[in-house]
Structure 1
Amino acid sequence: MKKTVCFFQANMSYGESKYLPYAAGCLIAYAKAQKDICDEYDFADIVFTRENPAAALRKVSEPFLAAFSCYTWNFEYHKVLAEMLKERFAECIVVFGGHNIPYDDSLLYKLPYVDILMHGEGEESFSALLNAFSRGETLRGVPGISYRADKNQTKTNASVRPGHIDKYPSPYLSGVFDGILKRNPDVRFSAISETNRGCPYGCSYCDWSLCREMQVFPIERVKKELQWFADHKIEYVFCADSNFGMLERDFEISEYIVRLRKRTGYPRVFGINSAKYCNDNVFRIIKMLFENRISKGVTLSHQTLNSEALANINRRNFSLEEFTQILRRYNACGIPAYADMIIGLPGETYDSFCDGLCKLLECGMNMSMSIYDCQVYCNAQMGQEEYRRKFGIKTMTLPLNFNHARTPREGDVQEYVDVIRETASMPEKDMRRAHIFKTALQCFHFKGWLKFFAAYMYQSRGVSYRQFYDAAVDFVFSAQGTLINSLFTGYAVGLEKNDGSVLTYSNPDFGPVGWYPEEGIALVLAQNKERFYREAEPFLSSLGIEPELYRELLAYQKSVIRTPEHREVEISSSYGFYDYFLAVLSGDTDVMLKRARNTVRVRIDNPVNNWQDYAREVVLYSNRRNDMIITNCKEAVTVEYY
């Protein structure tokens, strides 16, 4: 009788969408390609959803071995499942692998219900493990595992870097997921695409740095997988490559995706981590995907502009001059460009962090910016004790927020993540101030609530973005009794608790999902638009703008902030605000605001009827383009001068 192998890779749900469990599928596909393993083992359906642990275990019957693919978003859940499974099936061999498993045996001492740890890439190690059990061999020859040699001793076998990933079978093409698709017809599945593995860079915060050698999968396999996605109507495909566009062949892959989309309608979105240095190949790829509505734009990852911090994390950026030229190239083609930044990197100070954000605004990065907490992973260089001591890194363990996913219910298993709360260069108090500044910037600038006043003061009055938003933050905390004061004061108090409670905003008015703080604040302001601008009047009127211009600028600023009732908007003015701000926010420093009577008309192509629809369609689905500012959708705007 064959032995049963069970896999668990619980993923987050985003509405009706769920990811196919790619990592588990890769190990199963590799194992099932070997006759000896197929003769000895049966593979049960992969458990890929987060459900009540007891309900999940009811799907398991007499397992010989249970393998868990562990990440930050499922580690605690998998621990609960594994412990319950071990209690029910004492003889079952429990194996933990994945990115959340450190490269040592420490977890074996912490988790007595786990028998084997698997380190690094798992295809070859997992199959070697199954073969060792079926042949009655010791585990000494299985690479990349830690295991219990006896009751009081553990052993760790050295990992072996896979040498021939081009020979690995595809879980999609080998039918691993066929049963999941058949048994879940109502689920809108998303998928992971992998055209290569590895990363040539060594950023200290990333555990990809342990996999420096890049290897590619055969391009014909990649194309067949893309065809599989189209055949199975997979709407969203995320490419897990570390630097898509780095290889010349990535353009050929992108051309194939476009042809598929035109012929079949799928995939609708192909998400990528674009190559760190935006060469012509990257630009051609982004332009083609954007023009064919398969990509929403390009992310230009800086992480920090501080030279000391860059050196500390083993990273080099292009210069601001180069960045400005790259940005203008994308802006000229109407391609939205976004920035990724990290708060709390070693060497960063409060001032250098805030200055860096505002320098990017001056360069023309004004559409969207993601600013992440610096998470510390067990297998990254930053996670090592020596590195932490060197840079005075102190961390705190916070509940993992499930923003943009269903908020946890009572009885759900909470996940956790370690984030930096202090470094030698940024004390904890400054770290909290930095969070307040970045949240204010994201709400007031990228969500638009003070954006056009800030841009006018920068371009026409010589007030830097840093000066403007410093003053805005000061006003917020001094304006007692106002809505914005209560929102930010509550946020600041929550930050001092260090428990992560303020990192997710929940309100049934906006649906059953969680929101980032700046999104939550912006949504509340949208419900109270007139009140916000009325209460902000002391700050805005203190800017010294002549009365007539001030009145018209305020009217324009208020009009471009979308609320649910908007269908078509007309903004009449004596000043050419639309063209002026289009130039300023694209980084053009040679522009003046002209008096010219005009009417700006904006067509709303995705009307909504209530606040839940508004939150979902305008804030969540359009968070990169940021449809909260109606003029961001250029194709929906017409301007008539007279």
Structure 2
Amino acid sequence: MKVCLVELPMYANTLPLASGYLQAYAQQDSAVARGCEFSIHNMPASTPVDEVLGGLPDDADVYGLSCYLWNMRRMKEVLDELVRTRPDAYFILGGPQVMNHAAEYVPPAWEHVVVCNGEGEEPFAAFLRELVAARSGDGGGPDFRRTPGLSFWSRGELVTTEKPARITDLELIPSPFAAGIFDGGEYTFAAVETNRGCPFRCSYCFWGAATNDKVHRWELDRVMSDLAWISEHGIESVFIADANWGALPRDVELTRHMAQWKRRTGYPMMVAIQAAKNRPDRVTEITEILVDAGMLTSQPVSLQTLSPEALEMVQRSNIKDSTYVDLQLKLKEKKISSYTELIWPLPGETLASFREGIAKVCRTGADAVVVYPQLLLRNTPMYQRAEALGIETVRVDDPVAEADVVVATEWVTREDFQAGAWFYYAVISLYNARSAFYVARELDRLGVCSYLDFFVSAAEYYQRQEDSQICRFFAHSVRSLGNYDINNIGKVLHLVLHSHRAEMDRLLEGFLTERGWLADPRVRWAFELDLVARPYVYREAVSEPAVPMSQLRVVSRERYRLQVEMPPPAAALLASAERIDGIPDTDPVRIRIDHAGRRKMPYPRHRSLDHNAAYCQAMMNRLRDILPAWTVAVPDVAVGAPDAP
């Protein structure tokens, strides 16, 4: 019996971990091992339907499809065509998007299509066992009522069998790496599990809702062997798919293990983690190990919200404010980038509390603020309470994905939702991209205008600038839910830090002039520092600002460097913001600004905007790789040695 497992991941050349687990577990059954021949097929979810179908065997007896929100529309098209062309085959669907939703995807006439309602290994193996037994029996056909954890149609009735208990002894699931299932594949990206389970119960998250359990782990030696396989086979990027990396003491040991293999083989080149929020010291140690090995350049800090009401509503607790501030200081001292993650709009969050939370994060000196749209994920507590929470959603206009973006709640109207999106575009362009980093800091410090009011005013100004291509992009993104795509943020950085850099200079000058702030010399100094210090996201030649400066003067320009003269008060403002000691007592002060940065790539003109946006998004998360370095341009005196030659 030919069994074809199908995955449509987000990225090309992704190692099919879910299919590997299913095959490795099922093959432990002697009847399945004798009676089934497996093949795994994975292509990016963006692959056209005809190409997906052309890459699958047309004579398989069983098709297993892994379904997630990012591939569901495309997977449904694939399923519809396979059912039409292979009416005698059997199909099993699994994954968070379809479990407990069989009636939505499977019409009553499709009695040969079943849906797995939970952890897949045991139901999938039992499903195959039933098919093998039916083939070798009297021809009466399989009876899926004997198979746990399935939903299927039988004579017009939707039947759902009892779910098996979750697997707590993970050693019952053999390693697909050790079993040779992935041998011969060409993979550049891999997800890896070292444990399963999550002790938290955040209502918006499938992880905790699906397990609601303590963490169960694979044996250390088995995990180390899997990680060694990844390194030896040259996989470039790894995502540790544990809910809370750093929660267990052994996670530090496993991180060191990856670092040792990286030094031995050069792989993996990058590691991404979901950091444990309640273990900041351990996560910082892990981050430092990965940074030293060249595998990580930034640490995520997942706050999700700073609203006490929202935290209570979604059953989440955050690290203490003082711990968060200390963490930011430690990361800055170690020159490790970080980014603070938030979600908009969570139940209990208001427009006011969302704005106040971002302003608070900016005041702590966070490198960057990343706001994800709230998606209503199926099989989560929030999904079950959506009506009571007043949740309204809009399904994104995407031919591949089936994501439902929350656009209103009991606490947020649709107008509030859009106002929050505009506010965040102001934050991306002015704070994350550093267009008005010093200005916003100085206005807040002087008590002239808080971070909150600054971004609110900027967002309102943006909405009136119909002639600005940057602002038109913001307006279109707000209308179309463009921020659903994480690369949308990268496109903002591409505009502000590269293609429309001069327009951003003029946009900022117009905003500050309208508010009358540039009449204050302290704000003027900060504004002109922003003009010369705004980073370049690509490794490219620096340019002088597109608007005239009256307080700072560019005295020389090299390919990646500017030498700038400034009055002592402006130098003092810079020294305070960047923690530079030893500014000379001269007038003017001459500063060299080095924009070479670390690990920046030249602008790839032949690449698409989407490709470049993905790079820009990644660089925002590792902002310290693109920020300029400052040096006092006095012979034999160097302050704040540059990070790059």
TM-score by length of 1: 0.85
1:620 and 1:438 mapped to 2: Cα distance?
Answer: 19
One-letter code of the match for 1:334? Answer: K
Q: Which residue of 1 aligns with 2:444?
A: 458
Contact 2:491 2:616 in 1 (8 A): no
2:447 and 2:316 mapped to 1: Cα distance?
Answer: 36
Contact 1:119 1:159 in 2 (8 A): no
1:143-176 CA distance string (max 9 Å, x none): 2111223344423322321132123111222111
Using the TM superposition, name which of 172-181 and 195-204 deviates more.
Answer: 172-181
> Superposition pairs for residues 367-378 of structure 1, below 5 Å?
367-378=367-378
Using the TM superposition, name which of 446-455 and 526-535 deviates more.
Answer: 526-535
Runs of 4+ in 1 over 6 A off after TM superposition: 593-596, 613-618, 627-631
The offset of 1:341, in angstroms, is: 0.4
Please tell me whether residue 534 in structure 1 is matched to residue 506 in structure 2.
yes
Q: Which residue of 2 aligns with 1:516?
A: 488
> Superposition pairs for residues 594-633 of structure 1, below 5 Å?
597-604=589-596, 606=600, 608-609=602-603, 611=605, 620-621=614-615, 623-626=617-620, 632-633=626-627
Equivalent residue in structure 2 for 1:640, among 628, 633, 645? 633
Equivalent residue in structure 2 for 1:394, among 383, 392, 395? 392
Contact 2:372 2:484 in 1 (8 A): no
Please tell me whether residue 71 in structure 1 is matched to residue 65 in structure 2.
no
Q: Structure 1 residues 43, 595: closer, same or farther in 2, change over 3 A?
A: farther
> Superposition pairs for residues 62-101 of structure 1, below 5 Å?
62-101=59-98
SS in 1 for 2:221: helix
The offset of 1:47, in angstroms, is: 3.7
> Superposition pairs for residues 284-295 of structure 1, below 5 Å?
284-295=285-296
Equivalent residue in structure 2 for 1:38, among 21, 33, 37? 33
Contact 2:487 2:610 in 1 (8 A): no
Q: Which residue of 1 aligns with 2:260?
A: 259
Using the TM superposition, name which of 537-546 and 288-297 deviates more.
Answer: 537-546
Q: Structure 1 residues 583, 11: closer, same or farther in 2, change over 3 A?
A: farther
Using the TM superposition, name which of 207-216 and 43-52 deviates more.
Answer: 43-52
> Superposition pairs for residues 43-62 of structure 1, below 5 Å?
43-50=38-45, 51-58=47-54, 59-62=56-59
> Superposition pairs for residues 97-116 of structure 1, below 5 Å?
97-103=94-100, 105-107=102-104, 109-110=106-107, 112-113=109-110, 115-116=113-114
1:582 and 1:620 mapped to 2: Cα distance?
Answer: 33
Equivalent residue in structure 2 for 1:156, among 138, 148, 161? 161
Please tell me whether residue 569 in structure 1 is matched to residue 552 in structure 2.
no
One-letter code of the match for 1:260? Answer: W
Q: Which residue of 2 aligns with 1:340?
A: 341
Contact 1:565 1:609 in 2 (8 A): no
1:293 and 1:630 mapped to 2: Cα distance?
Answer: 14
Q: Structure 1 residues 594, 250: closer, same or farther in 2, change over 3 A?
A: farther
Q: Structure 1 residues 266, 4: closer, same or farther in 2, change over 3 A?
A: same
2:117 and 2:316 mapped to 1: Cα distance?
Answer: 26
Using the TM superposition, name which of 124-133 and 63-72 deviates more.
Answer: 124-133
Contact 1:368 1:624 in 2 (8 A): no
The offset of 1:281, in angstroms, is: 2.0
Q: Which residue of 2 aligns with 1:198?
A: 197
One-letter code of the match for 2:114? Answer: I
> Superposition pairs for residues 276-355 of structure 1, below 5 Å?
276-355=277-356
> Superposition pairs for residues 214-225 of structure 1, below 5 Å?
214-225=215-226
The offset of 1:117, in angstroms, is: 0.6
The offset of 1:633, in angstroms, is: 4.0
1:141 and 1:290 mapped to 2: Cα distance?
Answer: 51
Q: Which residue of 2 aligns with 1:235?
A: 236
One-letter code of the match for 1:160? Answer: A
The offset of 1:44, in angstroms, is: 2.3
Q: Structure 1 residues 272, 339: closer, same or farther in 2, change over 3 A?
A: same
2:578 and 2:630 mapped to 1: Cα distance?
Answer: 16
Contact 2:429 2:496 in 1 (8 A): no
Contact 1:195 1:241 in 2 (8 A): yes
The offset of 1:49, in angstroms, is: 3.8
Q: Structure 1 residues 594, 122: closer, same or farther in 2, change over 3 A?
A: farther
1:165-212 CA distance string (max 9 Å, x none): 12311122211122433xxxxxx5211111001111011111112212
The offset of 1:253, in angstroms, is: 0.3
Q: Percent identity?
A: 23
Using the TM superposition, name which of 106-115 and 463-472 deviates more.
Answer: 106-115
2:520 and 2:160 mapped to 1: Cα distance?
Answer: 76
1:630 and 1:145 mapped to 2: Cα distance?
Answer: 49
1:112 and 1:447 mapped to 2: Cα distance?
Answer: 54
> Size of the alignment, in residue pairs?
597
1:640 and 1:280 mapped to 2: Cα distance?
Answer: 38
Contact 2:595 2:627 in 1 (8 A): no
SS in 1 for 2:332: helix
SS in 2 for 1:62: coil
Contact 1:565 1:608 in 2 (8 A): no
1:368-414 CA distance string (max 9 Å, x none): 22211110111111111xx12322111121134xxxxxxxxxxxx43
One-letter code of the match for 1:569? Answer: R
Q: Which residue of 2 aligns with 1:382?
A: 382
Q: Structure 1 residues 102, 35: closer, same or farther in 2, change over 3 A?
A: closer
The offset of 1:433, in angstroms, is: 0.7
One-letter code of the match for 1:56? Answer: V
1:194-244 CA distance string (max 9 Å, x none): 100111101111111221221101111111111111111001011000001
2:10 and 2:572 mapped to 1: Cα distance?
Answer: 42
> Superposition pairs for residues 574-593 of structure 1, below 5 Å?
574=566, 575=568, 580=573, 584=577
Q: Which residue of 2 aligns with 1:560?
A: 533
Contact 2:436 2:527 in 1 (8 A): no
SS in 2 for 1:342: strand
SS in 2 for 1:180: coil
Contact 2:439 2:523 in 1 (8 A): no
Q: Aligned-pair RMSD on alpha carbons?
A: 3.1
Using the TM superposition, name which of 303-312 and 208-217 deviates more.
Answer: 208-217
The offset of 1:461, in angstroms, is: 4.6
2:40 and 2:287 mapped to 1: Cα distance?
Answer: 37
1:577 and 1:537 mapped to 2: Cα distance?
Answer: 18
One-letter code of the match for 1:335? Answer: I
Q: Structure 1 residues 67, 616: closer, same or farther in 2, change over 3 A?
A: closer
SS in 1 for 2:454: helix
Q: Structure 1 residues 168, 126: closer, same or farther in 2, change over 3 A?
A: same
Q: Structure 1 residues 120, 155: closer, same or farther in 2, change over 3 A?
A: closer
1:48-90 CA distance string (max 9 Å, x none): 3443333433431322111101011111111111111111111
1:491 and 1:163 mapped to 2: Cα distance?
Answer: 44
Contact 2:206 2:379 in 1 (8 A): yes
The offset of 1:279, in angstroms, is: 3.7
Q: Which residue of 1 aligns with 2:19?
A: 24
Gaps of 5+ in 2: 135-141, 543-558, 638-645
